[in-house]
Amino acid sequence: IIGHLVSCCPAVAYGMLYTKRLEHLKVTALLQHADSFSAKIRLSSTCKLDILWWISAIKLNQGFPVVRDSFDFEIFSDASKSGWGVFCNGVKSHGFWTKDLSNRSINYLELKAALYGIRIFAHDLHNLRILLRIDNTTAISYVNRYGGVAFPSLNEIAREIWQFCEKRSLTLFASYIPSKLNVEADKESRCSVYETEWELSHSDFSNIIHFFPGFSCEVDLFASFTNAKFDQFVAWKPDPYCWKVDAFTICWSHIRFYAFPPFSIISRVLQKIITDEAEGILIVPLWPSQHWFPLFKQICVGNVLHIKPHSHLLFFCDRLHPLNNQLTLIAGFLSGKQWKNKTFQRNPPN
């Protein structure tokens, strides 16, 4: 069956992608049965899904787009052992690997970086041809060959890349770029500034949610995909899985938000809550002497939850915040809408 499917691939868009799992199953079965092609094997559930894809694709018979030499977009990506970086048309972004990912091979990380670049820059594109520039030959091979058999983990990333493209009718080609020329993406992948990445401990977050049982948050306003507390989140820079970028550019009026912003922008966050008449849970440090603290108290509805210092209060990957044993946080339910109503009642118009 694999031979028949492969022979159809030149005429079936993305078809090669849906042969790799079958190829891997065949190779594994041959190893288990002393290279006997007469042995019987049981199809896995994932292989069955791929065969169903083929049945559907052949019925549609949409064919393969004509290959052009020119490209509509050029995306650069790179990875280091600490993070990833991407660049396209003057826009750049970066992120950091979790502890588990940082232990993966550089081939795995390079493919991940390519995936993130595609997700960030091609999210709203359709029916276009994209050139992906990578300085890793293994990653290039897995992209251009729609995956591979030797390394299933790499195949799954390539599969995610191509399925993302398939949904948007995008054509992708990866080409090699020397590291010394991949300047922007390389620089981004080695970024060491992570002050916006501190994450509240899971136990403290759980306590906050239980402290406000009558309010159900839906959006994390200040996060990245490595530390977001909700599936829907807003990132401060282009992110491969975010809902929106830059919380201050969207309206909060109809968002039930959760926010743990960098301490330097708390005043701006409070003003935004008032302006948009927004409601949500905000976490700030217990710093009564700060100029924004009286306003926090005015907007706050009901009691606040005190989060006491402890060694794992804030973390980022395997790093712990230097002030963990000194910092007290408070979580409150804030309502710009109720604050405006109270202000109106105290100072009605003449």
Between 39-43, 253-257, 310-314, the lowest mean confidence (pLDDT) is in 39-43
Q: What's the gap between Cα 275 and its chain centre?
A: 29
For position 177, what pLDDT does the model report?
A: 97
Is the per-residue pLDDT at 48 higher than 60? yes
Q: What is the pTM of this model?
A: 0.88
Residue 252 DSSP SS3: coil
Closest CA to 8 of 43, 55, 69, 66: 55
Numbered ranges of CATH 3.30.420.10 in the chain: 73-189
For residues 62 and 213, the model is more confident at: 213
Residues 48 and 73 sit within 8 Å (Cβ to Cβ): no
Domain 73-189 has CATH 3.40.50.1980: no
pLDDT digits (tens, 9 = 90+) for 233-275: 999 999 999 999 999 999 999 999 999 999 999 999 999 999 9
Is the per-residue pLDDT at 343 higher than 80? no
- Within a 13 Å sphere around the CA of 230, how many CA atoms are in the beta-carbon half? 20
Mean pLDDT of all residues in 196-206: 92
Percent of the chain with pLDDT over 90: 76
Residue 215: CB atoms within 10 Å: 15
pLDDT digits (tens, 9 = 90+) for 1-26: 888 889 888 888 899 999 999 999 88
- Band of residue 344 on the pLDDT scale cut at 50, 70, 90: very low
CA 227 – CA 239 distance, rounded (Å): 12
Mean pLDDT of all residues in 307-322: 91
pLDDT digits (tens, 9 = 90+) for 141-193: 999 999 999 999 999 999 999 999 999 999 999 999 999 999 999 999 998 77
How many helices (H) and strands (E) in the chain? 12, 15
Amino acid identity of residue 16, one-letter, is M
Closest CA to 16 of 53, 56, 66, 71: 53
Residue 151 DSSP SS3: coil
For position 28, what pLDDT does the model report?
A: 86
For position 4, what pLDDT does the model report?
A: 87
Query: If you average pLDDT over every residue of the chain, what do you get?
Result: 91
- For residue 233, give the DSSP letter: B
For residues 228 and 197, the model is more confident at: 228
Burial of 131 (0-12, 13-18, 19+ CB in 10 A): middle
Residue 193: CB atoms within 10 Å: 7
Is the per-residue pLDDT at 220 higher than 70? yes
Max CA distance (Å), the chain: 93
CA 247 – CA 249 distance, rounded (Å): 5
For position 340, what pLDDT does the model report?
A: 59
Mean pLDDT of all residues in 112-138: 97
Mean pLDDT of all residues in 130-139: 97
- Band of residue 350 on the pLDDT scale cut at 50, 70, 90: very low
Residue 7 DSSP SS3: helix
Homologous superfamily (CATH) of 199-346 is Vaccinia Virus protein VP39 (3.40.50.150)
Between 95-104, 136-145, 252-261, the lowest mean confidence (pLDDT) is in 95-104
Q: Helix 152-167 vs helix 106-121: angle between axes, to the nearest 10 degrees?
A: 10
Residues 30 and 36 sit within 8 Å (Cβ to Cβ): yes
Numbered ranges of CATH 3.40.50.150 in the chain: 199-346
Q: What's the gap between Cα 269 and its chain centre?
A: 23
Residues 117 and 75 sit within 8 Å (Cβ to Cβ): yes
For position 164, what pLDDT does the model report?
A: 98
